[in-house]
Amino acid sequence: MEDGKRSAFDVAREALLNRFGTLDPERMRALGADDVEVGAAVNIAQRDGGLARDKRMILACPPTNMNELLEGADVPRYVPTVDHSLTRCGDCGTDMWIGPRQQAVAMRAPDATLVLCMVCAVQETERRGAAALVGNLGGNDGRPRLAG
């Protein structure tokens, strides 16, 4: 605080804590936070030096063998969009598809996110003792799909 003025981060932190009682992105979403509010919490956490692993936002990405994992289930085949990129799971190292919005969030706030394959994301939520919360950063809005 310089000259008696609080920073925008301090004001935002106080407002989010007053409204949601937490800066944990998953708990905030469960309490009705929108993407802007969650993004602000992620930015605050990044500025503050990052979050502990159990407080980081999980970005669950489909592994490249998604269709094999879902074989026999009555669900449509997964086909990534042309905007998806290949990356590796932060825990098990498996190849997976990351969408453009997930990639942007991960790059903007690496100390506040965990980029995991869906299998590891489920395991992480179980370790946290919470039901799996599925967040959606958009997507599936008409972008062309890769050849399946």
Q: pLDDT at position 97, please? A: 94
Q: pLDDT at position 126, please? A: 86
Question: pLDDT-based confidence at 128, cuts 50/70/90?
Answer: confident
Q: pLDDT at position 88, please? A: 94
Mean pLDDT, the chain, integer? 81
The more confidently predicted of residues 62 and 53 is 62
**Locate tokens 């669950």: which residue?**
60
What is the separation of C-alpha 66 from the centre of its chain, rounded to a whole number of angstroms? Answer: 19
Question: pLDDT-based confidence at 14, cuts 50/70/90?
Answer: confident
Q: pLDDT at position 132, please? A: 47
Helix (H) or strand (E) holding 113: strand 113-117
Verdict on whether the full-model pTM lies above 0.85: no
Question: pLDDT-based confidence at 148, cuts 50/70/90?
Answer: low
Per residue in 105-121, pLDDT (tens digit) is: 888 888 788 899 999 98
CA angle 101, 116, 13 (to 5 degrees): 60
Q: What is the largest CA-CA distance in the chain?
A: 65
The more confidently predicted of residues 102 and 54 is 102
Q: At what angle do helices 8-20 and 35-47 cross, to 10 degrees?
A: 130
